Amino acid sequence: MTASAARPSRPEPAGESPAEPVAGAGTDPAPSTAGEPDVPQPAVPEPLVPPEPAVPEPAVPEAAVAEPAVPEPAHPQSAEDGGDGVQQVEGDGEPAVGGAVARAAQAVAGEPGTGDVAGATTPAQPGAGSGPPRMRLSRAVTLVLLAALGFGGVVAARSADPSFSLATARPDELAASLGAIGAENRALASQEGRLRREAAGTAGAGSPGASPAPGGASGPAGGRGAESGGGADAERARADELAILAGTVPVDGPGLELTIRDPHRAVDASVLVDALQELRDAGAEAIEIAGVRAVVSTYVADEPGHGLIVDGRSVAAPYVLRVVGDAHTLDQALRIPGGVLDTVAARDGAQASVRTLGHLEIRALRPAPSPRYARPAG
């Protein structure tokens, strides 16, 4: 600290509350130099431990200073700016010096110490300087508080870490962020689709010229066939995606099986609808509810006295939902506090169990929808 240099040689200035005792002693101004040196040295060594170096030091320091024999009561305070150590030398022993002086000496002792040999034991810090035990205590508390600040800062930073906060977030926050991520995901997926189409279009435009199809007459048809690398593959992939979505093809893949047992008919359609939504939010790609392939138009309704109706078919408990998707994510989605499993468990006698599977197959199919009115636009 630059400030330390400035330190007045006079003891008085230092005199803040703690310092006072020393001030009186101020026979000679401490050499300003003495003060400064200490700053650097704040010899790290165990500042916390109160140095016991006791008597000997005080004497030394002065000598070191070269100043007058009398201890310069100097500014005990100076130490403070030095900011180092807590412990001032213990005052006890300087009887050597005159009574009043002695007092001063002890206070001083700390700083001279810094200058010289003493350094090791006594921390550079004269600072704490004046009032012995009490000052030491409060300086120690100061250090503890600072350490607590550092510690607290780290803990707070860790708590703010997103990956950490997910673990402790409340369910509604999780649901909100899940929703946001889902929306983002959809936006990105549609963007991806658009870009892919664009890329396919570009490839389609480029390849016919570059690699003319055999039999120039075949024209566009030949071109299409030749460019299997670009457009056709994309088309096929697109068709597959749509087929999976529409439930017209069997699918297999990792996923899970959710079984809801409902001996007392306490589970109504809303539970299954919630489960369906939760699974879709969690990225389910194909779902089969009680043997019925779930698609966009799937509905679940209560059928009094029997169970439920899924897309027009009566089903009875236990309801088995088989889902293809990221098994872990799906599993977590079902287990969210207040989520599907909790809801089911709250119903009279109902029980839900989840089994994640590395591989499962959904064979239930749907006829391809044939829209009567809707036509692709643009």
Partner 1 sequence: MIPLLALVLGVVAGLLLGPSAPDWLDPYLPVAVVAAVDAALGAARSLVERTFDDREFIVSFASNVVIAVLLVLLGDLIGLGGALSTAVVVVLGIRIFTTATVLRRALIRL
Alpha helices in 161-217 (DSSP H): 162-168, 171-210
Alpha carbon separation from 309 to 124, 262, 319 (Å, rounded): 84, 15, 11
C-alpha span between 211 and 173 (Å, rounded): 55
Amino acid (1-letter code) at residue 253? G
CB contact set of 251 (below 8 Å; sequence gap of 6+): 244, 285, 286, 324, 361, 362
- Residue 155 found at the interface with partner 1 (CB under 8 A): yes
- Residue 128 found at the interface with partner 1 (CB under 8 A): yes
Alpha helices in the chain (DSSP H): 2-6, 11-14, 20-25, 32-38, 56-65, 78-82, 99-115, 132-160, 162-168, 171-210, 219-226, 231-246, 269-281, 327-335, 340-346
The nearer residue to partner 1, 10 or 103, going by C-beta atoms, is: 10
The nearer residue to partner 1, 135 or 271, going by C-beta atoms, is: 135
- In the list 5, 49, 151, 219, the residue contacting partner 1 (rule: CB under 8 A) is 151
- Residue 106 found at the interface with partner 1 (CB under 8 A): no
- In the list 5, 69, 96, 146, the residue contacting partner 1 (rule: CB under 8 A) is 146
C-alpha span between 92 and 132 (Å, rounded): 10
- Residue 85 found at the interface with partner 1 (CB under 8 A): yes
Least separation in angstroms between CB 52 and partner 1: 18
- Residue 12 found at the interface with partner 1 (CB under 8 A): no
How many CB atoms neighbour CB 104 within 10 A?
A: 31
- In the list 88, 121, 125, 207, the residue contacting partner 1 (rule: CB under 8 A) is 125
Q: In the range 166-185, which residues lie near partner 1 by CB under 8 A?
A: 168
- In the list 5, 44, 183, 221, the residue contacting partner 1 (rule: CB under 8 A) is 44
The nearer residue to partner 1, 124 or 352, going by C-beta atoms, is: 124
The nearer residue to partner 1, 170 or 194, going by C-beta atoms, is: 170
Does 318 sit behind a cis peptide bond, omega within 30 degrees of 0 on the bond before it? yes
Least separation in angstroms between CB 106 and partner 1: 18
Phi (first) and psi of residue 29, to 5 degrees: -70, 140
Least separation in angstroms between CB 262 and partner 1: 34
Enumerate binding residues for partner 1 (CB under 8 A): 1-3, 7, 13-14, 16-18, 39, 42, 44, 47, 77, 80-86, 123-125, 128, 135, 138-139, 141-156, 158-160, 164, 168
